[in-house]
Chain A
Amino acid sequence: NAGVTQTPKFQVLKTGQSMTLQCAQDMNHEYMSWYRQDPGMGLRLIHYSVGAGITDQGEVPNGYNVSRSTTEDFPLRLLSAAPSQTSVYFCASSPAMYRNTEAFFGQGTRLTVV
């Protein structure tokens, strides 16, 4: 049972480059989300999706795009990387109906923008 798979685990980008962080889940969860984790700030929600074809912004959406063409995949795109986007990124999924169910997290992507 793979759960939530994130790729890559590490990435270094130059300022201005673009890239896509991949996230896939095999649990048929409706709800998927992206968080960034920065020292002293906890995890902050970037974008989320309640199902295929539906996405919305979280707390810190600027500089990021998402799409949800299938239930399984929820990629996060950095359009033009900036040093302020240096962070650890987590993808998470959970079934939409059961709010007390834990969110399942990927192993994170450590992104450095130089």
Chain B
Amino acid sequence: AQTVTQSQPEMSVQEAETVTLSCTYDTSENNYYLFWYKQPPSRQMILVIRQEAYKQQNATENRFSVNFQKAAKSFSLKISDSQLGDTAMYFCAFTDYGGATNKLIFGTGTLLAVQP
């Protein structure tokens, strides 16, 4: 069974600093997709960044980047120049490429607080 693990329930960072959120996963598949979703207090789920497993290059989206280590099954999220609006719950998620559905498997989340 595929699993996603986020070992940091809560993290805190000062405004303008950099923070890294950890995610590991377990799968026997070779092709899959990984995502980071952000859930602010409004409850809305917002896609932050995505990574295709067959791409070696790490994905980046403005201040957000990932460190994807396929052999280690690790997918961490780095937030640079943290802003107060980054305060949210962050979920790592996995979906496999070859399955018949788009089922997402989520980690338990990391609550990030950006301090002024």
Q: How many residues of A contact B (CB 8 A)?
A: 26
Overall SS of chain A's interface: strand
The reply to whether the CB of A2 lies closer than 8 angstroms to some CB of chain B is no
B47 touches A94 (CB 8 A): no
Q: How many residues of B contact A (CB 8 A)?
A: 26
Report the stretch among A16-24, A35-43, A74-82 that lies at the interface. A35-43
Given A43-B91, A100-B52, do A90 and B103 touch, yes or no (CB 8 Å)?
Answer: no
A102 vs B37: C-alpha distance when bound (angstroms): 9
Instruction: Pick the most buried of B6, B35, B104, B107: most chain A CB atoms within 10 A of its CB.
Output: B104
Nearest B residue to A90, CB-CB: B45
The reply to whether the CB of B62 lies closer than 8 angstroms to some CB of chain A is no
Q: Choose among B33, B101, B108, B109 the residue that contacts A31 (Cβ–Cβ < 8 A).
A: B101
Q: Choose among B9, B100, B102, B106 the residue that contacts A44 (Cβ–Cβ < 8 A).
A: B106
Given A40-B9, A88-B43, do A103 and B104 touch, yes or no (CB 8 Å)?
Answer: yes
Taking Cβ atoms with an 8 Å cutoff, the residues of A that contact B are 31, 33, 35, 40-45, 48, 50, 56, 58, 88, 90, 92, 94, 96, 99-100, 102-103, 105, 107-108, 110
A48-B103, A102-B35 are known contacts; what are 9 more A-B pairs with Cβ within 8 Å?
Answer: A33-B102, A40-B9, A42-B91, A90-B45, A94-B102, A96-B102, A99-B97, A103-B47, A107-B44
